């Protein structure tokens, strides 16, 4: 838990600096950092459990690709040329 507090503290500090180091907004930055870290943890636990959306590989899994060959196209008929002399 102490590790998580450290991560929140670091993120709150980043937010504070990004906003130009305003005074008196420590609580706001701390809460925003808590939300971001919690969301980050939730997304990691979801992908770690293999609950990724259908068709998308879970984090760390290679993407499965389908190999398909394009259907051969029919040859276009050639336009008859005009032969002749002038």
Please say whether the beta carbons of 34 and 8 come within 8 A: yes
Whether the predicted model's global pTM rises above the 0.75 cut: no
Instruction: Render each residue's pLDDT in the chain as its tens digit; 86 residues.
Output: 678 899 999 999 999 999 999 999 999 999 999 999 999 888 888 776 655 455 555 555 555 555 555 555 666 666 666 555 55
DSSP string, 58-79: PTTSPPP----PPPPPPPPPPP
Q: How far apart are CA 50 and CA 52, in angstroms?
A: 6
Residue 77 pLDDT: 61
Give the model's pLDDT for residue 9: 96
Question: Where are the chain's structural domains?
Answer: 1-17+37-48
């Amino acid at each position: 838990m102490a590790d998580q507090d450290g991560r929140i503290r670091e993120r709150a500090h980043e937010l504070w600096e990004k906003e130009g180091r305003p005074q008196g907004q420590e609580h706001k930055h701390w809460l925003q950092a808590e939300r971001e870290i919690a969301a980050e943890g939730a997304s990691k636990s979801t992908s770690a459990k293999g609950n990724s959306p259908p068709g998308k590989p879970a984090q760390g899994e290679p993407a499965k690709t389908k190999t398909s060959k394009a259907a051969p196209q029919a040859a276009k008929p050639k336009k008859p040329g005009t032969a002749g002399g002038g």
